Structure 1
Amino acid sequence: MRGRPNRALAASAALLCVPGLTSGCARGVLDPQGPVGAAEKLILLNALAIMLAIVIPTMLATLVVAWWFRASNTRARYRPSWSYSGRIELVTWSVPAMVVLLLGGIGWVGSHDLDPPKPLVSKVRPVTVQVVSLDWKWLFIYPDLGIASVNRLVVPAGTPVSFHLTSATVMNSFFVPQLGGQIYTMAGMTTRLHLQADRPGSYQGLSSQFSGDGFSGMRFTVNAVPPAQFASWAAQAKAGALVLDAASYATLSKPSQRVAPFTYGSVVPGLFDAISGQKPVPATTKASAVTPGKKV
């Protein structure tokens, strides 16, 4: 009688833990919202199935062997002089070799199909976004629109996004788990990435590469919106007073943590190329109306 309340309490605690364990998958790589993320999830599941095809029979065989060769089983043959079996050797070597070939094939095909610089197949013209990792924030430049945003990426749903990425300081890693495609940003060079959000929604992005004191707060939000809403947001951002020129970029590039998202109404041409080429930022005749961002 005394054990029943304890068992009931343990069962209740286990049920309470289930939502916490599964909630981490709701907004992660197992909940893809784009073609790249869905393809990466499929690779993970296929690899898991191949490995389980070995792990589960091996565990069952271990239990069967232990049960069959128990001391009380008089039908089990005891052969102390046994040393070799060609059939066993064939199985123990051919099965792992097949697993390696299957896993290697999945990895090889996936690495070519999901090559980051490879454009996504779509009838819609992609949106170009230039990404700069700073200490400790993200700068997103829309060169075709002449605007920029900090710690907030707005893209049209159902439209491929062509990313050009670099770092103004140390190495970082650009990662939107639900869209897929983790890729590094490095000073003095440009990397490429193509992603797409299939449907409107808000997705969390982060830096998955430790980069100093403000690393834990180096996060951003990806807002995938309908194309009409994206055009409206771009027009509203373009009407803003902030100008991203040499002076405002010098202010923005100073280390700051947990900067609230904001936008620039105009961007000096050639800014991204200057940052990725480690050259002076081009000057402009316009002055920044407001000092962007502050350290909190």
Structure 2
Amino acid sequence: MFRRLAAPMLLGTLLGLAGCSGPLSTLDPAGPSAATAALLWWGMFAAFSLVWLAVVGLWLYAMFRQPASDDPARARRIEKRWIIGGGVALPVVSITVLLAYGIPAGHSMLPLPLDKGESLEIHVTAHQWYWEVMYPESGIALDDELHIPAGKPVDVHLRSADVIHSFWVPRLGGKLDAVPGRTNVQRLQADEPGSYRGQCAEYCGVGHAHMKFTVTAHTPEDFEAWKRQETQGDD
């Protein structure tokens, strides 16, 4: 029985691991915020895989063990142990460990105040069905593309002109909603130069699937050169 199940389980595991990379994979991080989220995911995956293995092991033990003696007092003691251990201790320990890491991890993703000049501010307004991008310091305006310097925090100020959208660059950070009448701020940072795909992650109408954008991270020198080129082109 176990030999027959081994091959499909191994194949399923390999197929699952193959989906851990790619332009829209949250498990292939390219920035500190995304790396924190990926580490949290892998920690949860490992912990609950152990729980799953323990449950399967107990199920197999219950299926194949030899019947014990019918001692009511002993049976009650065993029941109490399972209730306290599996119903109280295990959930409390699991949730405590998760919160002990999850709360500081979530705090580290917040756009906490920085000294002036340490972060780049970009204004992004979501429309049905495109992204309007504005650089307030230079007046550069783009559609469906952001350009950022690698290795520097970028604060994206999100707004919506119509319905609720969700700004998401999986390899750089988590999702954040763009809500009409409200400005939400997300901090992104790319560790290395490259191109990163983004997507609206909130259904916003018939054109939702096509509401994509790209984030291009440049070296600091190339980013300054790109800004000069864009501002000269507008003159």
Q: What fraction of aligned residue pairs are identical, expressed as a percent?
A: 32
* Paired residue type of 1:103: L
Alignment of 1:92-103 (within 5 A): 92=86, 93-103=88-98
Counterpart in the other structure of 2:3: none
> Which of structures 1 and 2 has the larger relative contact order (alpha carbons within 8 angstroms, sep 6+)?
2
Whether the 8 Å contact between 1:174 and 1:207 is mirrored in structure 2 is yes
Partner of 1:77: 68
Task: Give the gaps of 5 or more residues in structure 1.
Answer: 1-9, 70-75, 241-264, 267-296
1:93-150 CA distance string (max 9 Å, x none): 21222112222333322222222x3257x99721110010011001111111111111
In structure 2, runs of 5+ residues without a counterpart are: 1-6
Q: What TM-score, normalized to structure 2? A: 0.84
The 1:229/1:26 distance shift into structure 2, 3 A limit, reads: same
Rate the CA distance shift 1:227–1:182 in 2: closer, same or farther, 3 A: same
Summarize the Cα distance change of 1:55–1:18 in structure 2 as closer, same or farther, 3 Å threshold.
closer
1:219-263 CA distances to partner (integer Å, 9 max, x unpaired)? Answer: 0011111111111211111123xxxxxxxxxxxxxxxxxxxxxxx
Check whether the contact 2:33–2:108 (CA below 8 A) recurs between aligned residues.
Answer: no
CA contact (8 A) 1:119 1:162 kept: no
- Structure whose CA Rg is larger: 1
2:18 to 11, 15, 22: 22
Distance 2:112 2:169 in 1: 18
Which consecutive aligned stretches of 4+ in structure 1 deviate over 6 angstroms post-superposition? none
CA RMSD in angstroms, aligned pairs only: 2.7
1:222 alignment partner in structure 2 = 215
Structure 1 counterpart of 2:53, one-letter code: I
Q: How far 1:168 sits from its partner (Å)?
A: 0.8
1:187-240 alpha-carbon deviations (Å, 9 max, x no partner): 111111111001011100010001111111100011111111111211111123
Alpha-carbon distance between aligned partners in 2 of 1:39 and 1:119, rounded to the nearest angstrom = 19
SS at match of 2:76: coil
Counterpart selection for 1:46 from 39, 43, 55: 43
* Residues matched between the structures, number: 222
For normalisation by structure 1, the TM-score amounts to 0.68
Paired residue for 1:3? Answer: none
State yes or no: 1:55 paired with 2:55. Answer: no
2:44 and 2:118 map into 1 onto residues whose CA distance is 33
